[in-house]
Chains A and B, each alone.
Chain A
Amino acid sequence: MAAPASAQDDDAGGDEPTEAARGFLFILVEAEDGGRDEKQPVAEVEITVRSADGEEIGSATTDDEGRWEVPVPGPGRYEAEIDTDSLPEDVELRDDDKQVQPFGLRPGQARTVQFPLGDDPRNVRSTFDEAISLAVAGVNFGLIIAVTAIGLSLIFGTTGLTNFSHGELVAFGSLTAYFLNQTLGIHLVPAALGAMVIGGAFAGSLDLGLWRPLRRRHTGLIAMMVISIGVGLLLRYLYLYQFGGRTRPYGDYAIQDRLDFGRLTITPRDIASILISLGVLIAVGLMLQRTKIGKAMRAVSDNPDLAASSGIDVERVILFVWVAGGALAALGGVLLGLAEQVSWQGGFRLLLLMFAGVTLGGLGTAYGALVGSFIIGLFVQMSTLWISPEIKTVPALVVLILILLVRPQGILGRAERIG
């Protein structure tokens, strides 16, 4: 816990030791190439700053870059008012309530006061188009969560362990693929396959080297959860140590033109990611439904003692679940790295969404994990229509709490027996 760096006080920059209010007036115009909206400065607008008791401190007019600044005598509470009459004719305040804005200043602080002008950019591009593009991103993200969460759910189902280091298996996949792709120069497709193999082997060796011995000495589940947290912390910071704190893209498919299907635009990368996830999920479903090992996995999830007494080698099934879960987590990690770049803590961030998805679907059920994760991913992306993207995981958490209140066994889970 280090002391804060005071230089970060204001993201608009500047080293003035004295207190001041400042700002940057602009309207957003759609970029001609369809990319990010551009900020167009608005000049010659008057802004007045008053103290909390209404005494005028000073006023300023925006320059050609839309900037203004009013020095104030010291720390305290102030308010800034924009003179709407001085605005150009075709420009209006976005929100009439924001004509006067109160703010506080700490010693030495220079504070940015924003007066948003013109229409909200989210309204400029029609909400509908925005919703479509978010839905595509949401489908992709939801499927990625589903791919990674199957392992989490099956491990829980077969061993009872809620594995708090499952996110690190995801990060292991995206980082291994990064190493193969960027360091060794292997194309991303074979690199992703390699990451799956190595990720599966890594997860399998974790089961053989750590979890199986712990099960054998009858370590309690609570203790195992704490151990999984420790393992997760160790791995996560090992990744940071090796990989560094920056996020980085893969060498292939990083920059792509969007394909245009009328109101829907999508990159080939996203299409491929969605198809791969869907294919893998269908394959997993078939494996659980049709193959002998899949049936055994479900039998062990249902009742390990009964399954053991019927001659199923429970430990072998569990090992298989770890390997398969690890490989799927690694694949999810690569897809996540494609969608959002590779980061040492991408896995941990995803873990919380996996938890929300798995709980929503029903802890321990493979199909529930799939459905719940998909819904959560879609929901998280769509929620950015209304809330800031930086807090988009918060609504997913609210869903998690609500579902536990209303239907704790999840939408596909069965009520549990106690006692």
Chain B
Amino acid sequence: MPAEGSGPLADVAPEPGVAKPDPILVVDGVTRRFGGLSAVDVDHLEVQRGLITALIGPNGAGKTTFFNVVTGFDGANSGRWTFDGRSVGGMAAHKVARLGMVRTFQLTKALAKLSVIENMKLGAVGQRGEGFLSALVPTLWRVQEREIEARADSLLERFSLGHMRGEYAGSLSGGQRKLLEMARALMAEPALVMLDEPMAGVNPALTQSLLEHVKALRDEEHRTVVFVEHDMDVVYDISDWVVVMANGRIIAEGTPTAIGANKDVIDAYLGTHHDAPLSEAEEERVLAEIEAVIAKESASD
């Protein structure tokens, strides 16, 4: 774990949009609007290769939309971004994934009626048996399939899911699904793993093991990780760099210590209520928002 004052980003200034020594993902002027609401408006962001970057911010800050945009799951209204030096702006999601930027989802997408091992095997890229005609000739893909299965089994063991390999993925617990989704993403051998709230809804007993897996991605496999998280303890524990979003913008970034010391960030955006049920005042605000959306729509009609 990087100690205070060491690591590759120790000398990087804790300010929004700051340049990093070896960025794997560079985002420039990306905006995404829904109706009149600006969900994402990021001037500049660089993600350092080989480290764990946390993306935090209050509900509705645009973190998931930002994930969707850079991974090709949603279109941007404007902006450019590069992954590993290649421009991937506007590229289809599956192509982005094949380049090595693989994401998971906030609501897990375990493929319920496929077995756990089939879920895993799906993750491998470049499968010869995935072509229509070659699928009909098993000799073309049997050997590769066995290799993939062996890799999948060893990953399942690592993620303590080995005993579930034959079960339907739909029968796993919420935490196990998170594990499965992360393991499945690794089947694609990604250089950059983007985890959308990997700990959400996970039973506390599993949290620690999940955290260890995330750290292992960096320390043992030298992959880059970006993850969205609400729990500040988790963020402090495993991340090398923290990016704070609010209202679609990046309002602060820095090492966990620097962000932790940034009283304004804590007060303004990470107040204790961010995960609590809506208060009455907030309910009022939500209602007002609905009204505003409706007003805007009728104006544009």
Contact = CB atoms under 8 A, between A and B. Distances in A.
A310 B35 contact: no
B283 to A, nearest CB: 6
Interface residues of A, number: 18
B294 A417 contact: no
A385 B50 CA distance: 68
A146 to B, nearest CB: 15
Among A309, A311, A418, A419: residue with most chain B CB under 10 A: A419
A289 interface: yes
B294 A309 contact: no
Nearest to B67: A419
A417 B32 CA distance: 10
Interface stretch (A48-56, A79-87, A298-306): A298-306
Nearest to B103: A419
B235 to A, nearest CB: 24
B301 interface: yes
A303 B287 CA distance: 11
B286 A309 contact: yes
Interface string A394-419: 00000000000000000010110111
Given A367-B301, A417-B34, A417-B74, A311 B294 contact: no
Given A310-B283, A311-B283, A417-B34, A299 B290 contact: yes
B: contact size bracket: 20 to 34
A309 B278 contact: yes
B283 A306 contact: no
A295 interface: yes
Contacts of B35: 414
B10 interface: no
B68 A306 contact: no
Contacts of B34: 414, 417
Interface string B89-109: 000010000000000010000
Given A303-B290, A417-B74, A418-B73, 13 more contacts: A299-B290, A299-B294, A302-B290, A302-B293, A302-B297, A310-B283, A310-B290, A311-B283, A414-B35, A417-B68, A419-B68, A419-B73, A419-B93
What are the 9 closest A-B residue pairs judged by CB atoms, nearest first?
Answer: A419-B73, A310-B287, A419-B68, A299-B290, A310-B286, A298-B294, A417-B74, A367-B301, A419-B74
12 contacts: A298-B294, A298-B297, A299-B294, A302-B293, A302-B294, A306-B290, A309-B278, A310-B290, A417-B65, A417-B68, A417-B74, A418-B73
Interface of B: 34-35, 65, 68, 73-75, 93, 105, 278, 283, 286-287, 289-291, 293-294, 297-298, 301
